[in-house]
Structures are given as C-alpha cells and as structure tokens.
Amino acid sequence: MCLVSCSQAEEKLSEELQGKVLGLHDDLMPKTEEIVSLQAQLDSLSTGKDSVHVNKLKRALAKSDQAMMDWMHQFSMDSLSKMDVKSKVEYLGKQYTQLKDLQKLTDSTLHAAKAYRP
C-alpha cells in the first residue's frame, strides 16, 4: 500500500519543486537586465571621485550576474527528465536552495547599486 502512495507523494513533491525552481528562475532572469543597465550607468562614473566605491559596486554586479549564468549553465531539464523520482526530488531540492541564495545575492547587490547617488 505504502509503495504506491509513497511514490505518488514523491511524484507530487517533485512536480511542486520543479514549478518552484522554474518560477524562481523566471523571477530572477529579468533582473539581469537591471544588472547590465546599472553596470553601464556605473561605467561612466568609475573614474570619478567615488571610484573605489563605484568599482566595488560594479564588481558585485558582475559577480551576481555571473552567479546567475553559472546556475543556468549547470541546470539541466534533460538530465532531470532521465532521473527516477527520488533523484528528481533530491536534484530539485538542491537547485532550489541554490536559487534562493542567488535571489538573496541578486536583490542585495541591486539594492546597493540602486542606493548609490553620485
């Protein structure tokens, strides 16, 4: 009895996790646009009086952008489709944790860069 219902529960969990992972991805991706646009704005200020601070903000933006792209390059729907349900739940759980960290990094980096006024 448990065999059937347990695997059904895992299946459901895996689907939920996949939705959460992809949702978070869709929330984060448009933010790269903000990052690139802020980088361009800061570029013109990088030799001014606040150059040390501006360059620090720029490095942080580049790091957060790279972290997003790195996540993207390692995440694979193809490998996911070949996994059994137990591995799926494990894989998606890890991916979700990574994305949550990425979200914190992106939001705090964007917040700091937007707060800067020359």
Partner 1 sequence: MQLKPIALSILLAISLFIASCQEKKSLPFLGPKDTHLVGGKVDTIYHQIPPFRFLNQDSTWVSEKDMAGKIYIADFFFTSCPTICPKMKTQLLRIYERYSANDQIRILSHSIDPAFDTPSVLKEYADRLQVKAPRWNMLTGDKAAIYKLGEKSYMVTAQEDKNEAGGFVHSGAFILVDKNRHVRGIYDGTQETEVNHLIEDIEILLQEK
Contacting residues toward partner 1, per CB under 8 A:
22, 25-26, 29-30, 32-34, 36-37, 39-40, 69, 72-73, 75, 77
In the complex with partner 1, the residue whose CB is nearer, 37 or 108, is: 37
The Cα angle at residue 10 between residues 5 and 12, in degrees rounded to 5: 95
In the complex with partner 1, the residue whose CB is nearer, 6 or 36, is: 36
Spatial separation of the C-alpha atoms in residues 31 and 106, rounded to whole Å? 8
SS3 44: coil
In the complex with partner 1, the residue whose CB is nearer, 38 or 89, is: 38
Q: How far is the CB of 25 from partner 1 (least distance, A)?
A: 6
Q: How far is the CB of 49 from partner 1 (least distance, A)?
A: 24
Q: How far is the CB of 65 from partner 1 (least distance, A)?
A: 9
DSSP string across 50-104: THHHHHHHHHHHHHHHHHHHHHHHH--HHHHHTS-HHHHHHHHHHHHHHHHHHHH
Q: How far is the CB of 20 from partner 1 (least distance, A)?
A: 13
